[in-house]
Amino acid sequence: MGLMEKFFGLSWGIHPEDHKRPAADAVTRVMPTPERLYISLAQHLGAPALPTVLVGQKVKKGDRLANPQGPVSAALHAPASGLVVAIGEIPAPHPSGLPVLAVTLESDGLDAWADDLEGCDAPFDLEPDEISRRVAAAGVVGMGGATFPSALKLSSSRKAGIRTLIMNGGECEPYLSCDDRLMRDKADVIVDGIRLMLHATGAQAALVGIEDNKPEAIAAMRLAAAPYGEVSVRPLPARYPMGSEKQLILVLTGQETPAGRLPADVGVAVHNVGTAKAVSDAIRLGRPLVSRLLTINGGAVGRPGNLLAPVGALVEDVIAFAGGLKEPPARLIMGGPMMGLSLPHARVPVIKGTSGILAFSAAETNDRAQEACIRCASCVRACPIGLLPLEMARHVEAGDLKGAVRIGLKDCIACGCCAYVCPAHIPLVQYFSHAKGALAAEDRAKLRAEAVKKLAQARSTRLAQEAREKAELAARRKAERAAAAKAARETAGTVEQSGTEPAAGSAST
C-alpha cells in the first residue's frame, strides 16, 4: 500500500448505497425443488461439460450428469432425483439470450440423495491431492461469480507454493447479501472448508476479509475461527470493489499484483467464502455442488431475502417462490448490480455462479441520456486499477482497440466504477466490455486463419505428392510395359529361333 493510502485512506473505488438490508436480515428460506430443472452444461469457466446420462435415464440427487471436458472444466450433478427428459438447447442466462446446451431433469419430488456418496470423517488424514480430486469430483467452482474450477485452483496453488490463502467475504456489490447470510448461518462449516483448503494447498495462514458493514458476519466468523490460530478474520473498510481479487490482496497483504500476473505470483490464492462451504460439503459429506445460497432483491421483488435454490431452477420459479413481483421489473439482473448480467427474460436457469437475482423498479434503474465527456476525470479517480477510462473509451469509440490496449485495457476488471461516477452518464465499462470481446474475437480469427493456412498448405503438398506419385507410377508402368514388350519380343524371338532349329535339324537329318 502506498504512503498516500496509509495516511489519507483508500483513494480508489466508490461507495454506493448498499441496499443490503432488510434482505440480509431476513431468515434464509429453502426453495423446494421445482418440477423441472435445467442444468446448463456451460456454467463454469472453460470448456462445457460432456453429458454422461441419456434421455429417459433415472437419476438420484447427486448423481453425475456430465463429465469435465479438458483441464479447465467442471463436472455437473443432478440437483434432484428424477428423470432426464431432454438434453438440448435452452436460453442461456446471458444478456444475448443465445442458446446453451442443458440437461433437463424432471423431479420425482422425493429429493433422494444417491447412495454412493463418498464422505470422509477424518479428512485431514487425506493426501492434499486427494482433497483436490474429491473437490473436482464434486464439481465445485468459485462461488463468487467467476466460476473458475476450484480443484484446479487448489492444485495449482500447491504447485506454485502459495503461503497465504485469502478468503473473500467482502461482498462489496450492493444489494447482495448471500455471503453475509452464509457466514452468519454456517460459519463453522466455512471455517472447516478453509482449513481443508489450507491442507490442500499447503498454505500456512488464511485471512478472511469481511467488509465492516457486516458486523454480525464478522462476529460469527470470529467465534468459529477462534480455536484455529491459522484462520484470522480481518474486517475491511466497506468500499466497492473491495471483493476484486487484486484489491483484496492489496488491502490485506499490502502486496500489489503486477499487471497481467496472477495472485499466485505474489504467493496468495483468493477463494470466496461460499467455495469453502462447498469444499467442506464435498469432503465431509461427499455431496456435490447442486444448490446454492442466492440473494433475491430489488424494488420490484415482493419479499426480498436469501434463499437456498437448486442449480437449474428457472429464475421465474425462484421469483415466484420468493413472493413474486410487485410490478413488472424495469431490469432483471443475474449477479450484482455493478458486474452482473442483465437477463433478457426470466425463463433462464440458476447456475453455480448465481449470487443474486435482482428485479429493479424503473426508479432504481435510473436510465439517463448520455452526454458529452466534460473531462472531469472522476472516472480516473474512481478506477481501482489506476487506468484512464475516459481515454480508453475514446480509443474504443474510434475503433482503435490497439490504442486502448496500449493504455491498459487488458488490466480493466470491468468493475463499473467509472460508469457509476460519470456525471455525463457515459457507459464507459460497456465500451470496455465490447472492446475485450472484440479483441478476443480478433485473436480467435487470427488463430483460425493460421490453422486454415496450415490446412491449405497441407492440401497443396498432398496434391503435389499425389501428382508426383501418379507420374512415378505412370513412368514405372511405362517402363514395365516396355520391359514386358521387350521380353515378349525376346521370347518370341527365341521361340522363333527354337521353332526354326528343329526344322533346321529336321532338314539336316
Which residues contact another protein (rule: CB under 8 A)? Answer: 42, 92, 94-96, 98-100, 369-372, 396-397, 426-427, 430-431, 433-434, 437-438, 440-442, 444-445, 448-449, 451-453, 455-460
Nearest to 272 by CA among 190, 344, 351, 328: 190
CA distances from 305 to 20, 168, 347 (A): 9, 21, 21
Closest distance to another protein from the beta carbon of 498 (Å)? 51
Nearer to another protein, 425 or 476 (CB): 425
CB of 85 to another protein, least distance (A): 22
Q: Which is nearer to another protein, 284 or 434 (CB)?
A: 434
Q: Which is nearer to another protein, 46 or 274 (CB)?
A: 46
User: Least distance from C-beta 211 to another protein, angstroms?
Assistant: 29
Pick between residue 370 and residue 465 the one whose CB is nearest to another protein.
Answer: 370
Whose Cβ is closer to another protein: residue 238's or residue 414's? 414
Q: Which C-beta is closer to another protein: that of 95 or that of 408?
A: 95
Query: Cα–Cα distance between 253 and 499 in angstroms, integer?
Result: 109
Least distance (Å) between residue 248 CB and another protein? 26
b/e map 252-262, b = 16+ CB within 10 Å: bbebebeeeee
Strands 58-59, 82-91: pairing kind: antiparallel
CB of 393 to another protein, least distance (A): 9
Q: How would you write 351-377 as a 3-class SS string?
A: CCCCCEEEEECHHHHCCCCCCCCCCCC
Q: Which residue from 189, 196, 221, 249 is spatially nearest to 384, judged by alpha carbons?
A: 249
- 116's enclosing H/E stretch is none
**Residue with smaller CB distance to another protein, 61 or 395:** 395
CA distance 326 to 265: 48
Minimum distance, C-beta of residue 445 to another protein, in the bound complex (Å): 7
Q: Which residues pair with 37 in a beta bridge?
A: 105
**Cβ 426 to another protein, closest distance in Å?**
8
How big, in percent rounded to 5, are the helix, strand and coil portions of the chain?
A: 40, 20, 40
Q: How far apart are CA 65 and CA 336, in angstroms?
A: 29
CA angle, 69 then 67 then 116, to 5°? 155
Please report how close the Cβ of residue 315 comes to another protein at its closest, in angstroms. 17
User: What is the closest distance, in whole angstroms, from the C-beta atom of residue 459 to another protein in the complex?
Assistant: 5
CB of 431 to another protein, least distance (A): 6
The answer to whether the CB of 262 falls within 8 A of the CB of 322 is: no
Cβ atoms of 76 and 104 closer than 8 Å: no
**Which DSSP state fits 265?**
G
CB atoms within 10 A of CB 44: 27
- Burial (CB < 10 A; 0-12, 13-18, 19+), residue 243, is buried
Q: Tell me if 357 sits within 8 A of 315, measured CB to CB.
A: yes
What's the half-sphere exposure (Cβ side, CA atoms, 13 Å) at 137?
Answer: 18
Q: Report the alpha-carbon distance of residue 352 to residue 272 in Å, rounded.
A: 13
Which CB, 449 or 475, lies closer to another protein? 449
Nearest distance from C-beta of residue 143 to another protein, angstroms: 22
Task: Choose between 460 and 494: whose C-beta lies nearer to another protein.
Answer: 460
Is the CB of 363 or the CB of 369 nearer to another protein?
A: 369
**Complex with another protein: residue 224 or 393, whichever CB lies closer:** 393
